[in-house]
Structure 1
Amino acid sequence: MSWVSFEPRPMRSREEIARIVHGVSLRRGLDELATAIALMTIAVESGSNGHWWCPWNAKDSTSRNYQFDSQSDDGFSVGYFQQQNRRPGETPSGSDDWWGPMRSRMTLEDAADQFLARLTHDWRSAADNPALAGRFAQDVQGSGFGERYQQHWDEAWDVLRRALAEAAVPEPTLVAKKSGEVMGFVGDPVWLEDVLREALGDRLVVEPDWEKRGTGGAMGDVWGVMIHHTGNINETVSAIRDGVHQPGGFLPGPLAQCLIKPDGTCHLIAVGPCNHAGRGSYQGVGTDCGNRRLIGFECCWPTPRPELPGGCDTCEPWSAPLIITMRDATAAVLTKLGYSSERVIGHKEYAGSAQGKWDPGNLSMDWFRGEVQKDLDDAVFPGEQPMPAPEPDPDPVLPPKLLPEPNPRSDRQLLEEIWDQLRGPGGNGWRQLGGNTVVDYLHEIGCFATDLRHQLDELSTMLEALTTRGLSTTPNGSTAPRKAAAKKVPPKKIPAKKTPAKKTAASAATRKPHAKKPAKKTS
């Protein structure tokens, strides 16, 4: 480890780190030994000056976007476990993805979850054996100094015991691949029938007792899917279920969870670990643990051709129904796990160097991963019908209105309140209404309205009389011929209480000298 700088204090004490890591272990169904192996690793990778640190790295600069308490410059390594990808960047892809996005490497819970997921299945044999525990840590980390892990056995256990004695273990908060989902699944995938039935419909054939079948033990943390070819287009369910004779001896079944035939039928055979992956390794899966961490799909290909070198035509195409079911089944499993198409690999990608495998034959796994990703992204493939738009929600049925609760006051109390409201406090009227009761105030309003109506009636009569004589009022109250009607003032400026007779007299008295004679005759 090469350090550049430290903050004055680490983000967390060693005991806090131990409790968080142990919470992740418990979520995975693991025990204190698994936590101790993880803590041994942290002590080696990011321990210094009696503390465990979370460093960022300028060579993979996006690590600075997350919480850190130190800086290192060892390759692209970051965080408590010094996890790195082949290339820098926030979100790696393809073969560059060794330890996932930056957030999962710089977040303690997720970094610990990734480490624990890669422990080989026999890690429990390291109880009371520091050297063996160190080898399990080295199998995950691939360090150039693997012997150092065992040196921190005692430190890891001392910190863990103090941590568990001091406080409760927190519930881990893991980064989800999809909103609302937790990555992965630990244990036998008992959900396979339901998941595959939804994706495949009547293409799925469920074999009897599939849910009881496996080679022994239980599946671990399911990393993804492995694709195989059978070597024989006519392979049978019984061979995959019971086992086959090989040059090296008999290989007992089951040999895969599913057998997919050229007509596109998928036979569900087993739920537990199967003898399909064998020896090998793949980044993220670990070494020699594919049987427990990968769901195996055996696919019927190619046609036996004894007359050809190798016994088959290596250029033989795969049947379309076979490929479609392989794609749909793989996408269904990865959707359940919350993973992308990067979590499906071919047997040759895992076991090539260890076993010399070439399956799945001439199938390009990069192309196949692309097809699976299209399925995960809800692409509509040729010959498929797009998903219909969801039906609108029906109008909600509202519950019947409930009657109010019975009033707790007695009839006398209610009558007294009504009396007070009508008469005012103590029967003395309301101050807001000028000392009137409600009834008296309403009476005053009625009288005012009646008087106002009478005045409006008088005004209307006056205007009607003026109109009949062909005159209209001018702004100064005089009369003028009808043609001057455009200068008529609004009715409100005429004194409301003048009678039509007085109005006419006043008009004659103030008549202008140049008024026409017909107007004089009307006075």
Structure 2
Amino acid sequence: MAAPLTAAAVLTALRAEGVRVVEVGNWRAHNRNQKGPWGPLNGSIVHHTVTRGTASTAAMVRDGYAALPGPLCHGMIAKDGRVHMVGWGRTNHAGGGDPKVLDQVVAESYVARPTPPTRGNSNGTDGNARFYGWECENLGDGKDPWPKAQYDAIVRVQAALCRAHKWSAKSVIGHLEWSSDKVDPRGFSMQQLRTDVSERLKHPASWNPGSAPTNPSTEEDPMAGITKRDIFDAVWKTDAIGGPADAADHRTNPTWQPQSILKDVQARIRSMDKRMAAQTAAITALAGQVGGGADTATVVAAVEAAIERAVIDINTKEG
């Protein structure tokens, strides 16, 4: 058993573990403490949200809905691995669960998994008082993928709590292991999650393995659906590089791809170098013919300075 971490302490623990945290509104004081106790705490429960969309999911777990007021967890772990902190204190996440499971979590006495629960939300022990709760953005249909960034964040969050309280990974359970009427999280194994948390706990909080844990059977390809055009639009369609400016550019560079932009820039620089050399030679010759008032080096330096001022003036106006 342990006293709950303070909001400041949990932020320190999460960030030390490499978790990217998003603080949502007044999350530090947003809770259901008026409805019952929070603590002593015995572990952490992982859930899935049955939702899609990070912004709407974060709003839902913070505010709740008609049948269940928020906050519905302490933090929501999004697809991109960011953890949105929405409440701190008692939250509506665990509901009722099996007291035998609670005993096994307290003692960390089970082997692979706790005894299957025989009590649920309506007739179980109050889990909201005894567990941290983490909702994870996922449809929960067994098909919606768990991206590596998200799964890695789940592991890091649970390891941060275990490290702070000196718990083992057996203090981390899924909602389906707590309550007989729940199925979440669906799509990855809680046994594997505990294995991955245990591995993190063997290392310092700053540990970054060569690759993130990859337990989920269906991994989301972060480049899926991204086309060559998408990359071009993101990289090259800026105020500084706007594409061809006239009809001649369209004729010589019809597709206007990144590689052709670079070739075009190189060609223009070479052309400018040649023109500059020719102009310098012409100025030198002219100065020699005129003679008298200024020597050749002075004339060339004056012209180059004028060109530099013009370039600076153009850049200033465009910036």
2:146 to 307, 311, 318: 318
Specify the structure having the higher radius of gyration (Cα): 1
1:376 to 172, 186, 201: 201
Deviation, 1:313, is 4.4
Q: Is the 8 A contact 1:189 1:272 kept in 2?
A: no
- Letter paired with 1:263: D
Map 1:305-454 → 2, pairs under 5 A: 313-351=141-179, 353=180, 356-378=181-203, 381-383=209-211
Contact 1:193–1:268 (8 Å) recurs in 2: no
Q: Name the aligned partner's letter for residue 60 of structure 2.
A: A
Report how far residue 361 of structure 1 moved.
Answer: 0.9
- By how many angstroms is 1:236 displaced? 2.1
Q: Is the 8 A contact 2:41 2:130 kept in 1?
A: yes
Find the aligned partners of 1:196 and 1:380 in 2 and give their Cα distance: 14
1:280 paired with 2:117, answer no
Shift of residue 224, structure 1, vs aligned partner? 1.1
Distance 1:331 1:242, change over 3 A: same
1:124-523 superposed matches below 5 A? 184-187=1-4, 189-190=6-7, 191-201=9-19, 203-217=20-34, 218-234=37-53, 235-245=56-66, 250-281=67-98, 282-284=101-103, 287-302=124-139, 313-351=141-179, 353=180, 356-378=181-203, 381-383=209-211
What amino acid is aligned across from residue 270 of structure 1 in structure 2? G
SS at match of 1:325: helix
The answer to whether the Cα contact below 8 Å between 1:261 and 1:300 also exists between their aligned partners in 2 is yes
How far the C-alpha of 1:207 sits from its partner, in A, is 1.8
Matches within 5 A, 1:3-14: none
- Superposition deviation, residue 289 in structure 1: 2.0
3-state SS, counterpart of residue 236 of structure 1: helix
TM-score, normalization by structure 2: 0.54
Distance 1:295 1:189, change over 3 A: farther
- Bigger mean CA offset, 374-383 vs 262-271: 374-383
Which residue does 1:141 correspond to in 2?
A: none
Cα distance in 2, alignment partners of residues 327 and 253 from structure 1: 24
TM-score, L = length of structure 1? 0.34
Gaps of 5+ in 2: 107-123, 213-319
- Alignment size in residue pairs: 184
Structure 1 stretches of at least 4 aligned residues deviating more than 6 Å after TM superposition: none
CA distance in 2, matches of 1:332, 1:205: 16
Paired letter, 2:185: P
SS at match of 2:90: coil
Does the CA-based 8 Å contact 2:48-2:184 persist in structure 1?
yes
Q: Distance in 2 between matches of 1:243 and 1:298?
A: 12
Amino acid at match of 2:171: R
Residues 39, 130 of structure 2: 8 Å contact kept: yes
